[in-house]
Chain A
Amino acid sequence: SQQGEEDPQALSIQEGENATMNCSYKTSINNLQWYRQNSGRGLVHLILIRSNEREKHSGRLRVTLDTSKKSSSLLITASRAADTASYFCATVTNTGNQFYFGTGTSLTVIP
């Protein structure tokens, strides 16, 4: 990909379980953002974590960032069927002029 990889590519879990997705990137960043995309639709912004932050929470979402390893993780707790979607990490370069997406994780939550 242009900037990074995500794993797993696909994840299938039972409702109520936690889902963890990982993102690795290549260059120095200003911040990293996570997005959700339902099939064939636009993107919904979930959370932004700055390069000087290590962890951030928003509702059932928990994001971590390790700039030394150039990696981030997104944890969705107590998953719901409605969480079924593709999740992408996106990195913003230090100049702020490039905004690249990772390869994405397709999450399926089984009711």
Chain B
Amino acid sequence: GAVVSQHPSWVICKSGTSVKIECRSLDFQATTMFWYRQFPKQSLMLMATSNEGSKATYEQGVEKDKFLINHASLTLSTLTVTSAHPEDSSFYICSARATGSGNTIYFGEGSWLTVV
């Protein structure tokens, strides 16, 4: 079946630095990718929707300059957490909608970010 790969799975960074998380669709083209954040024992909160070749659409309350999303190709979207702070520590999950698949969406395994 379709696979979405996230990298890295785990990352620890120092406060004030930036960290990039990649989301790749391995065997299909994804016109739309979604980024979510999940705090422990909570649900997934949609952060932004990114469409290939255009600017991401951010949900209310999500800082565009803080969470930079790039969807430069049909198989890759990146989320960069800029000037990370401990409160940004969370589980980040991406998902991708395959071109022509209607509403079939595939999820990555997630990336744990810890800011120290």
Q: Which chain A residues have a beta carbon within 8 Å of chain B's beta carbons?
A: 1-2, 30-31, 33, 35, 40-43, 45, 48, 88, 92, 96-104, 106
B109 touches which of A2, A41, A48, A102 (Cβ 8 Å): A41
Whether B78 sits at the interface, judged by CB under 8 Å, is no
1/0 per residue, CB under 8 A from A, across B31-51: the answer is 010101000011111100100
Q: Which residue of chain A is the closest to B57 with respect to CB atoms?
A: A97
A2 touches which of B32, B59, B105, B112 (Cβ 8 Å): B59
Question: Is the pair B44, A42 in contact by a Cβ cutoff of 8 Å?
Answer: no
Compute the total of residue contacts between A and B using a CB distance below 8 Å: 57
- A28 to B72 Cα, complex, angstroms: 31
- A1 to B38 Cα, complex, angstroms: 12
Interface residues of B in 40-85 (CB under 8 A from A): 41-46, 49, 57, 59
Whether B93 sits at the interface, judged by CB under 8 Å, is yes
A100 with B93, Cβ < 8 A, contacts A40-B112, A42-B108, A42-B110 known: no
B43 touches which of A92, A98, A104 (Cβ 8 Å): A104
> Which applies to chain A's interface (DSSP): helix, strand, loop or mixed?
strand
Interface residues of B in 82-116 (CB under 8 A from A): 91, 93, 95, 97, 102-103, 105-110, 112
A99 with B43, Cβ < 8 A, contacts A41-B110, A42-B93 known: no
Number of B residues with CB within 8 Å of any CB on chain A: 26
User: Which of chain B's residues have a CB closer than 8 A to the CB of A104?
Assistant: 42-43
- A43 to B91 Cα, complex, angstroms: 12
Q: Shortest Cβ distance from A13 into chain B, in angstroms?
A: 19
Q: Shortest Cβ distance from A103 into chain B, in angstroms?
A: 5
Closest 10 interchain pairs by CB? A42-B109, A101-B44, A43-B107, A103-B43, A104-B43, A42-B110, A101-B43, A92-B103, A42-B107, A99-B34
